[in-house]
Structure 1
């Protein structure tokens, strides 16, 4: 797959025609995957190249709709997953006020037509142009028939539309098992292992600590069963997201992970932690013994969850 970063008025890509889908695609959840799979299907059928068109930075940040807009995945993670689905091009358009001010006709004729999009696949509620005036069903008309449009019906879970907002809500509520189901994979957090207060080492509970970025989706404070990817190898473990209220309480939150059957120095290493299921809320313990007793229970629960999940 080729990654192309461009501005809306300078997105030059020599091609014989594209089958494309367009959107933010944060999380690339199961509803997004239907769109992308349809693009690949039409691409093969029409013998055209396939493309996913997305925007960076997040439109909500530029339009100031949400100053605290967060993302389920980074652009690099998005690119890797889209590439694995067989797409030829990921086109990342710089989102700015000029893009936001384009009319629906300008967006179609000055961008999609110039990009040589022949077929476009969008969701039923897709909108574009200033204030979202353009709708999925108007694309072909605005393009004077030069673009064929395939509109995909919404996908729901318990009568609620599956979308990025729904998954973020599940993560914040601690319903990570449902978030994973809607993502079609485990929610993961990647980062460089940082040195913590090293309390864990003094109680025979060493942890790998990584910070969750301010632009990353928020998760519920508490303990999770987790799977950890280190140098291409998977390990089981359990993770706590919080500020360590029982010992040397911090002024910020961090993800601390105890990795089963692992003995090595991870400081400075980039690892990935997949959250498998939520175990319990974060608690403040009255004594070291009370804390250790609960940790032993957490470890047992986490191991049982992982063994059942990956048997």
Structure 2
């Protein structure tokens, strides 16, 4: 199975790393190219023993899938360059934030298209991936694409109009967890804990809390209340966090990410669908 990546950024590398290292997948023929960063291509080839695509038309002749993994701002130019080179049998997979199936169908008429939002935890086989697709994707191809991403995490199929929210929640989600972890590290330093031991405590606490949510099937609020004794230390900490608006900040942050995903998509849509922008 031959898969060609257009784009060699963080998301492309996370997916490639997950696929190359997954024991659940057969060997894949992976090719990659990008707009200008030759060093990124060389690094990917060295790390994962994949092929670099130098001759687009020849390389695409026997491709089964292409993965669009460029930045949204580069999408229109890239689409115009790629579309004439794609044989009709190729299925298009897009992991570009914000760009919906309407735009992708306009850019690649006649091609089956799957829009995919994984996250960078794909690197270690722990991605939370969501996909939507056009009706033209045949069942066997959809099954294969799901298997690809199930090999590097979990997969949900949702409506295309829900993908901006997905991008904000799980696509960007690892960054929120890392941000909270950084705050825990700063707090540990401030209250006088040795860095190495504090980091070990933080990571195990995060791991244990996630395991409790998964394995007990209890609601987060129920588990939180069990830890929170009246007048105790946890109550004091949570009260301060709530007073400072931590819960509101998290909700507002995810809403802002959702709005930005929609904005990125609208910019591309307006530039690629002229009849729409003139309405």
TM-score over 0.5 for the alignment? no
TM-score relative to the length of structure 2: 0.32
TM-score relative to the length of structure 1: 0.29
The answer to which structure, 1 or 2, has the higher relative contact order (CA under 8 A, 6+ apart) is: 2
Structure (1 or 2) with the greater helix fraction = 2
Structure (1 or 2) with the greater strand fraction = 1
